[in-house]
Chain A
Amino acid sequence: MKLLARTGFWLLVIVIAFFALFPFYYAIISSFRTGSALFSVAYWPETFDLSNYFAVFERQPFGRNILNSIIVSGSVVVLSLALGITAAYAFGRIAFRGRSLMLMTILAVSMFPQVAVLAGMFELIRSFGLYNTLPGLILANLMLTLPFTIWVLTTFMRELPKEIEEAAFVDGATPWIVVRRVFLPLMAPAAVTTGLLAFIVSWNEFLFALTFTLTNERRTVPPAIALMSGSTAYELPWGTIMAGSVIVTIPIIVLVLVFQRKIVAGLTAGAVKG
């Protein structure tokens, strides 16, 4: 009976792990197959052909797309954290009139459907002359990351002991110095967590990137992959698409493996404590 339970348990573990990993595994082996080999199903890696990986960079500016994604996501993370930490200090530790209402509004914004701001955002980005530019995407992505950054950092900020802040005030610190010299170092782990989440959100963003860019050179990775087309309009270049997918997924997987604990902490801080 006990043996049965243990076997069942491990079976379940294996099934879950298989379900979680198989699509990625399959993408990898597909990315190593070309031409007509793709038109048969393979379960095991048979060939190790890198031509799809070369093709993905030759047929379109995929390197440029990756660079765009890095620039956009990196800027979004930096801006969100810079704005978020000061705001989180105010929201998390200072009682002022309207605080709850504003925090509630910010939480509500983080639940906005993206499409609800699409028309207005399009107009805004055009009027700033940012259509089909990376700054335009950065600005748009802030709408996705800033509210939850503020929210998550606020929940972390609340947990820091109040005496440390008071000791700093007695020492002659101003609120700005408290944030910069005392809380910023203490918030570093929380900032890493939140920054990772913001990075992943921005790295994966599709709707804005699809709508606010026009040319292949300005696209980030998600629309670049979504819009990859082959030599004929009817046949999608699956091998290349899988190669591109593998390339952009590997850094994310590394991030997840390295920062697993931090990501989980951020996810649950934003939701459970909220």
Chain B
Amino acid sequence: MADVVLKNVQKSFGRVKIIHGVDLDIRDGEFVVFVGPSGCGKSTLLRLIAGLEDITAGELFIDGERVNDLVPAKRGIAMVFQSYALYPHMNVYDNMAFGLELAKSSKAQIDAKVREAARMLQIDNLLDRKPRQLSGGQRQRVAIGRAIVRDPKVFLFDEPLSNLDAALRVQTRIEIAKLHSDTRATMIYVTHDQVEAMTLADRIVVLNGGRIEQVGTPLDLYHRPANLFVAGFIGSPQMNLIACEVAGVGPDEVLVSLPSGGTLSVPVAPETLQPGEAVTLGVRPDHVRVSPQGSLTGRVELVEELGENHLLYVDMGQGRRLTIREPGDARHEAGSTIALEIDRTSCHLFKASGEALPSRAGSPRPAPSSPDLTRVA
């Protein structure tokens, strides 16, 4: 069990800087998930922690020890790769035993550990098979088993489930969660999948362009995105972002004039905001309602039925589009004109710099229906 501390960690490949100074404090036993757009450096950061890449500048501590100059095997980590990376010429047993054998464990000890891990992962009947005789899901279990037998202080996962089909992904995800609750080991997990991130993580780290945008619990990120990037990245469908202008400021609210006319009072601290400044209003699709009393009107462009809820894509004029999610089946057809109402207490307001203004609405209300967090590519 160990904490992982990154102090201004940087990484360059040749002259190109990929990681621009990351500070991160991962507590003992915590499950941390790295998310971010493709190419933002998630894998690179994970590989820096693993020791598969050299840290260009900064310091990395695992369990209080500075490990910058240690080879992966000395860091007390284990890693599960997206491609499984099993040794093709060894059977399942030997795949799991290889690390222990190199660590000069006794035969009996190796055998006990391998069999226990195999039992835990329900692959004990596959021990004699070669990796090519296994299905994708079984391969991934072997890869996880290989990590478990090392008794690592920190587990590292790089998109371990992305090669699996949807059903297997859910099942293996649950098993990883169980593994975490059983072992209480620190786990760092890279994924593209928001559901994985939201369900597995104690805390999520949102990366963008080699920098941390925000670190927080899943609900923190969902309800209190620190900036426009996180607001747009977390949540599916994406938060509606509307360019507005400040019309007036109160002590605990900001009045914004909407592009389609009308104003909206958003309960956020105005800080140094002045009337006339450009801001971005953010509102999740769940917080816009179709309502005859609504002050906004638009024309439904497209309806997507999802069963438990439905999405309306509404043209608000001048090419601006709003996404709305309503429970149940759609009651409006494409082409019809509807009136809309924005739940002002659930709105976010972002300064021109992209930073969010602190909310004054008290604790956020839960979303009307559970957000459908589908995978974003």
**Is A–B contact present in the complex under a CB 8 A cutoff?**
yes
Q: Which residues of A contact B (CB under 8 A)?
A: 161, 163-164, 166-173, 177, 181-182, 185-186
In contact, A166 and B73 (Cβ under 8 angstroms)? no
Contacts of B52 in A (CB 8 A): 166, 169-170
Tally of contact residues, B, Cβ under 8 A: 24
Please give me the 9 A-B residue pairs with the lowest Cβ-Cβ distance, nearest first: A171-B99, A172-B73, A163-B85, A167-B85, A185-B89, A172-B102, A170-B72, A163-B81, A170-B79
In contact, A167 and B73 (Cβ under 8 angstroms)? no
User: A150 vs B240: C-alpha distance in the bound complex, in angstroms?
Assistant: 58
As a 0/1 sequence over residues 266 to 294 of chain B, the CB contacts with chain A under 8 angstroms (1 = contact) are 00000000000000000000000000000
Q: Which residues of B contact A (CB under 8 A)?
A: 50-52, 71-73, 77-79, 81-89, 98-99, 102-103, 146, 150
Q: Which of B82, B84, B88, B146 contacts A171 (CB 8 A)?
A: B146
In contact, A169 and B73 (Cβ under 8 angstroms)? yes
Contacts of A182 in B (CB 8 A): 87
In contact, A171 and B81 (Cβ under 8 angstroms)? no
Which partner residue on chain B sits nearest A165 by CB separation? B85
Chain B, interface SS category: loop
In contact, B87 and A167 (Cβ under 8 angstroms)? yes
Known: A170-B73, A171-B150. A164 touches B87 (CB 8 A): yes
User: A173 vs B50: C-alpha distance in the bound complex, in angstroms?
Assistant: 14
Contacts of B89 in A (CB 8 A): 185-186
Contacts of B87 in A (CB 8 A): 164, 167-168, 182
Which partner residue on chain B sits nearest A172 by CB separation? B73
Q: Which of A163, A169, A177, A181 contacts B71 (CB 8 A)?
A: A169
Q: How far is the CB of A241 from chain B (nearest CB, A)?
A: 47
In contact, A164 and B85 (Cβ under 8 angstroms)? yes
Contacts of B51 in A (CB 8 A): 169
Q: Can you name 25 A-B pairs with beta carbons within 8 Å?
A: A163-B81, A164-B86, A164-B87, A164-B88, A166-B72, A166-B79, A166-B85, A167-B81, A167-B86, A169-B72, A169-B73, A170-B50, A170-B52, A170-B73, A170-B78, A170-B79, A171-B73, A171-B98, A171-B102, A172-B73, A172-B99, A172-B102, A173-B73, A173-B98, A186-B88
Which partner residue on chain A sits nearest B149 by CB separation? A171
Q: How far is the CB of B179 from chain A (nearest CB, A)?
A: 17
Contacts of A170 in B (CB 8 A): 50, 52, 72-73, 77-79, 99
Which partner residue on chain B sits nearest A177 by CB separation? B102
Which partner residue on chain A sits nearest B102 by CB separation? A172
Q: How far is the CB of B297 from chain A (nearest CB, A)?
A: 54
Q: How far is the CB of A220 from chain B (nearest CB, A)?
A: 36
Q: How far is the CB of B180 from chain A (nearest CB, A)?
A: 19
Which partner residue on chain A sits nearest B99 by CB separation? A171
